[in-house]
Structure 1
Amino acid sequence: MFIPQEIIRDKRDGNSLSKEQIDAFVDGLAHGSFNDAQVGAMAMAIILKGMNVEETVNLTLAMKDSGHSFNWDHLNGPVVDKHSTGGVGDKVSFMLASIVAANGGYVPMISGRGLGHTGGTVDKLESIPGFDVQPSEEKFKQLVKDVGVAIIGQTSNIAPADKRLYGIRDITATVDSIPLITASILSKKLAAGLDTLVMDVKVGNGAMMQNMDEAVALANSIVSVANGAGVTTKALITDMNQVLGLSAGNALEIVETLDYLSGKYREARLHNIVTELAVVMLLDGKLAKHKEQALDMVEQVLDNGKAAEVFANMISAMGGPAHLFERHQAYLPKANVIADVTSDEDGVISSMQTRDIGMLVVGLGGGRISNDQSVDHSVGFDQILPIGAKVSKGDVLARVHAKDEDDAKAFAQKYRQAIKVSASVDELNPTVYKVIG
């Protein structure tokens, strides 16, 4: 029998943990023999001392095996998925899953809530009235078969050990650990029974990985562990030095998703990332034979409305309104106060403190500071101007959506402080830096 504090001590002292020690830790996560303080201490020891590949593989598989795994042998197409390491304004999953499902892929996406300054896919979906992010496993499987995609939250049966660790990491400053991120992502993705996976590894001042070396290390870790477990996996390293798209905030990002899929407006950087990820998923899922064909397939289902139809079908099948595209203003929550954030000077937006903007959304009430905190789905920012945009004094940099006038005024000023306006801007960062795997 392993005593929790002895396992923590071993990792604190920089030793490699045996499979048996890791299994005991994961069992303690799932069944409570590690209390919250011990879990937090273990997470801190891991973030400070690291884990080697073997430890990370053992942690990933143990957390996967702490719950139920899915089998999709009854489907007549590839089971594919994508995961992002998280950013600000990252609503890519909604567009991407709809595009791939419209082209014959099956996407059983098990997603998380907000973590630190990053928004959560599940929180965004919960801004849609009636949407059930935790259907039964039987319904989940039926939804994937019938609709082609179902995006759900992590249930008590899917990697329960990770679910507990994930929540404790969020409030103990232990989010930024490559082994913990790898094991957290892949324990859920391997449990989902995937054929292929594409990772969107964010890098920059709004990402968990602040520099390219960290991003490449994480991408290599995920690709090697996942491929070693039998899931064909590639990773794209993408830019998160500014908000992705036009919005940051739960309901606001759903509105942008509807605008994107319906063709009303597609912000260029967002569209580029969605397209590049979709191409990898279509190729690795053997739905397309070459990149040109994959690109055509993406554009076709966006232009003919099939991707929008898939998203609409998923929403209604999971309890949301059947006419969200046509009547979203009647369904989605609206903030009490919407105010312009205006520029104090002339120039060009030359940089953006993206993490700070993510934390502003949390401060407005759109994220969590503690595990049990409720979320205000209506707040955030939209009409966000990108880096490189020319502005004059008085021009709108963004709009703040807040619960009252005091918050609107305070957070508008904080948003201005997160934006730098200069006489000129250096060369813009690429949207996609590289592909690994």
Structure 2
Amino acid sequence: MRMVDIIEQKRNGGVLNEAQLAFFIDGVVDGSIPDYQISALLMAIYFQGMTPAERTLLTTKMTASGEQLDLSEIPGIKVDKHSTGGVGDKVSLPLAAMVAATGIPVPMISGRGLGHTGGTLDKLEAIPGYQVTLSDTDFINQVAQENLAIIGATGAIAPADKKIYALRDVTATVDSIPLIASSIMSKKIASGTDALVIDVKTGAGAFMKTLPEAKDLAQALVSIGKGAGMHCVAVISDMSQPLGYQIGNALEVQESIDLLKGHGPEDLLKLVLTLGSYMVVLGRKAPDLAAARKLLEATITSGSALARFRALIKAQGGDERVIEDYTLMPQAKYHTTITAQRRGFIAKLTADKFGIASMMLGGGRQKAGEQLDHGVGLTLHKKVGAKVEVGDPIVTIHSNQPQVTAVASLLQANIEISDVVTPPTMIYQVIDD
């Protein structure tokens, strides 16, 4: 078998079989296929796409390329959640704690942010001492004892994906649905969970800018999950404006704790309850979504979800005192507020531009491996649909540099005020297998 023949077949719109995809993934992992041929096939897939069967086969081979966790020692149905990424998306933090508080084991393997999207691990590392790396044994034991652990993936899980992802990032093939879907699902299947709820973002701050694109990706993810024997649900949610009111690592941890204390932002709570309800039903702790929602709401009023989050922090070496004292996390030195220049209603807060603004402050990465400033970010005072008068604060910039002219200009150019506005829909569609 020759790699050039596989490239040619896909370039011409052909369907690759199991042997060809196995040859490709084996060659990626052992280094026998050069980067230029891997990149050529990625570009062919980008333009020609893949059938559902091809996507499932590719994912299966990527999953099998490395270590696969065995979580069978943990009693109960293990349920995880994944997001395709957004701005202000701190959902995993309160969601995991709330679901764990209902008695469902949540073994969550998360990632870091890149570009305008934030990463769960980056947020957790704003908590002094929090360790995102655990051995497999410690990870399994913690989930068994606490119902919850949130860690980063090791290089042993789906190593083919690590190499392919790096090449996608430099060959303009990131936004390919077969490649996105196989990347996400290979790691989730290898992590050993029984069920998965995926938050597929759509809008300016998402990789899938349009609803049809998001629907195609959601269907691909659910199809792959079903083919691998994993019960999978995809929720398509809005990312046209930032989620919640805080953008930035320490700020988003603070907002997550606020939600668990019962006073988080409405849009964040709605999304957490929607995703969480599906997780609770999949975990068989409730017969339907309405009952699941009540269970989740009770974890806030009883304080059990906040207790789970505190236990998570403590178990992974973090300073649990941040629950009461947010100033234990990194803080910005300077604060600059942008105000409304006219009266009306907030019509647009372009999500990806707000994410880029946070990145410019040091809160995000332009390249993998860059160090972050966990204290910087943005606080929104108004969301789309809110009424404003001249001089009302719209966004505060938290920075560790006294001059933020470029950041302020970017934000001002992406705040739109009009006389009439319709707030965006939060949940567009749910796709179940």
Could you say which TM-score interval applies, normalised by the shorter chain? Answer: over 0.9
Q: Return closer, same or farther for 1:382/1:44 CA change in 2, 3 Å cut-off.
A: farther
1:173-212 correspondence runs (5 A): 173-212=172-211
Q: Which residue of 2 aligns with 1:312?
A: 310
Q: Which residue of 2 aligns with 1:83?
A: 82
Identity %: 43
Letter in 2 for 1:210: K
CA deviation string 1:195-242 (max 9, x = no partner)? 211111111121111111111111111111101211111111111111
Contact kept in structure 1, 2:114 and 2:368, CA below 8 Å: no
Q: Within 2, Cα distance between the matches of 1:285 and 1:139?
A: 23
Contact kept in structure 1, 2:248 and 2:374, CA below 8 Å: yes
Q: Which residue of 2 aligns with 1:213?
A: 212
TM-score by length of 2: 0.95
CA deviation string 1:65-89 (max 9, x = no partner)? 1111122222222100111111111
Q: Which residue of 2 aligns with 1:2?
A: 2
Q: Which residue of 2 aligns with 1:284?
A: 282
Range moving further from structure 2, 16-25 or 233-242: 16-25
Q: Return closer, same or farther for 1:160/1:119 CA change in 2, 3 Å cut-off.
A: same
Q: Return closer, same or farther for 1:357/1:135 CA change in 2, 3 Å cut-off.
A: same
Q: Within 1, Cα distance between the matches of 2:335 and 2:168?
A: 33
Contact kept in structure 2, 1:14 and 1:49, CA below 8 Å: yes
Letter in 1 for 2:2: F
TM-score by length of 1: 0.94
Q: Within 2, Cα distance between the matches of 1:169 and 1:242?
A: 26
Letter in 2 for 1:273: L
Q: Which residue of 2 aligns with 1:99?
A: 98
CA deviation string 1:126-185 (max 9, x = no partner)? 222221112111111111111111111110111121123234433443221111111111
Q: Which residue of 2 aligns with 1:32?
A: 31
Work out which of the residue numbers 416, 419, 427 in structure 2 matches 1:432.
Answer: 427
Q: Return closer, same or farther for 1:224/1:147 CA change in 2, 3 Å cut-off.
A: same
1:43-122 correspondence runs (5 A): 43-122=42-121
Q: Within 1, Cα distance between the matches of 2:316 and 2:37?
A: 37
Q: Within 2, Cα distance between the matches of 1:257 and 1:171?
A: 34
Q: Which residue of 2 aligns with 1:417?
A: 413
Work out which of the residue numbers 383, 387, 412 in structure 2 matches 1:386.
Answer: 383
Q: Return closer, same or farther for 1:112/1:164 CA change in 2, 3 Å cut-off.
A: farther
Q: Within 1, Cα distance between the matches of 2:164 and 2:358?
A: 24
Q: Within 2, Cα distance between the matches of 1:412 and 1:262?
A: 32
Letter in 1 for 2:241: Q
Q: Within 2, Cα distance between the matches of 1:37 and 1:132?
A: 37
CA deviation string 1:303-362 (max 9, x = no partner)? 1111111111111111111212012212x1122322112222221111122112222222
Contact kept in structure 2, 1:171 and 1:370, CA below 8 Å: no
Work out which of the residue numbers 365, 371, 374 in structure 2 matches 1:374.
Answer: 371
CA deviation string 1:221-267 (max 9, x = no partner)? 1111101211111111111111000112222111111111122x211
1:226-375 correspondence runs (5 A): 226-263=225-262, 265-330=263-328, 332-375=329-372
Q: Within 1, Cα distance between the matches of 2:43 and 2:67?
A: 28
Letter in 2 for 1:182: A
Q: Within 2, Cα distance between the matches of 1:220 and 1:142?
A: 34
Contact kept in structure 1, 2:343 and 2:388, CA below 8 Å: yes
CA shift, 1:191, in A, is 1.0
- How many equivalent pairs are there? 432
Q: Within 1, Cα distance between the matches of 2:132 and 2:125?
A: 7
- Please say if 1:401 is aligned against 2:378: no
Q: Within 2, Cα distance between the matches of 1:224 and 1:196?
A: 13
Contact kept in structure 2, 1:202 and 1:237, CA below 8 Å: yes
Q: Within 2, Cα distance between the matches of 1:14 and 1:358?
A: 37
Q: Return closer, same or farther for 1:188/1:71 CA change in 2, 3 Å cut-off.
A: same
CA shift, 1:101, in A, is 0.5
Letter in 2 for 1:49: Q
Q: Within 2, Cα distance between the matches of 1:412 and 1:137?
A: 44
Q: Within 2, Cα distance between the matches of 1:382 and 1:169?
A: 33
Give the superposed CA RMSD. Answer: 1.8
Contact kept in structure 1, 2:75 and 2:144, CA below 8 Å: no
Q: Return closer, same or farther for 1:38/1:396 CA change in 2, 3 Å cut-off.
A: farther
Q: Within 2, Cα distance between the matches of 1:15 and 1:256?
A: 49
Letter in 2 for 1:214: E
For the residue of structure 2 that corresponds to 1:323, the secondary structure is helix
Q: Within 2, Cα distance between the matches of 1:36 and 1:385?
A: 47
Q: Return closer, same or farther for 1:167/1:358 CA change in 2, 3 Å cut-off.
A: farther
Unpaired stretches in structure 1, ≥5 consecutive residues:
none
Contact kept in structure 2, 1:2 and 1:21, CA below 8 Å: no
Q: Return closer, same or farther for 1:409/1:78 CA change in 2, 3 Å cut-off.
A: same
CA shift, 1:6, in A, is 4.8
Q: Within 2, Cα distance between the matches of 1:164 and 1:47?
A: 17
CA shift, 1:36, in A, is 4.6
CA shift, 1:35, in A, is 4.6
CA shift, 1:100, in A, is 0.8
Letter in 2 for 1:231: M
